[in-house]
Amino acid sequence: MPRRRVLAGSDVRSLIPGTVGVVDPSEAAPVINVLERRNQNLTYILNTHHHYDHTGGNLELKARYGAKVIGSAKDKDRIPGIDISLHDRETWMFAGHEVLVMETPGHTKGHVSYYFPGCGAVFTGDALFSLSCGKLFEGDPDQMLSSLQQIMSLPDATDVYCGHEYTLSNSKFALSIEPNNQALQEYAAHVAQLRSKMLPTFPKNTPSENNASARLQGDGRGCLLSGHFLCRRRALSKQLHPSSSLGFSLSSAILVGSSLANFRGERGKSRTLIGALALDR
């Protein structure tokens, strides 16, 4: 059974409407700008893994706001400023909403994803991108495959918030593998239009919702991840995709507790809940 944690002591007082968290802040300045513009304080920093492009803003944000840093217990010695270490399948509460911690190793050994079942949202860090998945720095192909299957087991309507805006380059690579995939062609054109306007391409629903995203298929040699992931299992041990290199994260996610209750029923307003910050280099 999953372990359940309700943050105690002084943390209980912060679990009220207005609780604010940030997922994977690569740098502090853009987060500070958003918080000041909204006149809000920062309560939590959620890290999916230890890489600097996902934790670079931790210490400055923690010092400025007194925010608690949350991450995997397996990364407790590698995440800057970590206060709360969580384990696989453990749940805790954010502004009265349950959050499930899912270990999704492969990119790193201690990688986790954060699933908000009541809101229909999952933050996958560098485990899963739109149309690809993360490079294997520390894990192995079997771990990555298991992680992707775990994410794909979530309800179809789940919104996926990934750690990098790689969708445009991923779509070009995808078309080089499946040039006759009409759904993929249409999606690639849609992505190109969004990026030409500097708009984010995610959140994306989990893969089974549309034909441009794909399914896991087994064959005699292993597993072929087509469409949404577009990488052969044997290739996972090397570079999955040219764009999956370590670099500054192109997005952070701001979570506003007071907006969570309305998120599920007002999907068009999701940007007010989770603001994808355009941090293009």
Catalytic-residue membership of 97? no
Partner residues linked to 160 by β-bridges: 122, 204
Q: Across the strands, what pairs with 101?
A: 114
Q: Of these residues, 97, 111, 164, 228, which one is catalytic? A: 164
Tell me which of 53, 97, 228, 241 is the catalytic residue.
53
Q: Which of 24, 50, 97, 107 is catalytic?
A: 107
Catalytic one among 54, 97, 111, 241?
A: 54
Q: Is residue 49 flagged as an active site residue?
A: yes
Catalytic residue list contains 53:
yes
Active-site annotation holder among 24, 49, 75, 97: 49
Report the run of H or E that residue 229 belongs to, with start and end: none
Angle formed at CA 32 by CA 71 and CA 68, multiple of 5 degrees:
30
DSSP-derived 3-state class of residue 182? helix
Asked if 115 contacts 99 with a C-beta cutoff of 8 angstroms, the reply is: yes
* Residue 158: HSE in the Cβ half-sphere, 13 Å Cα cutoff: 22
Please say if 51 is a catalytic residue.
yes
Instruction: Assess contact for 25 and 51: CB atoms under 8 A.
Output: no
- Can you tell me the distance from the alpha carbon of 220 to that of 232, in angstroms, rounded to the nearest whole number? 13
Structure tokens at 265: 């029923």
219 in active site: no
Which residues touch 47 (CB under 8 Å, ≥6 apart)? 23, 24, 54, 55, 58, 69, 70, 71, 72, 75, 79, 82
71, 76, 74: which is closest to 21 by C-alpha? 71
Name the active-site residue from 24, 50, 51, 97.
51
What's the CA gap between 222 and 217, in Å, rounded?
9
Is residue 126 annotated as a catalytic residue, yes or no?
yes
Per the residue annotation, which of 50, 97, 111, 126 is the catalytic one?
Answer: 126
Residue with tokens 């604010």: 20
Give the Cα separation of 170 and 201 in Å (integer).
Answer: 12
**Rounded to an integer, what distance in angstroms lies between the CA atom of residue 38 and that of residue 55?**
23
The verdict on whether 50 is a catalytic residue reads no
Task: List active site positions.
Answer: 49, 51, 53-54, 107, 126, 164
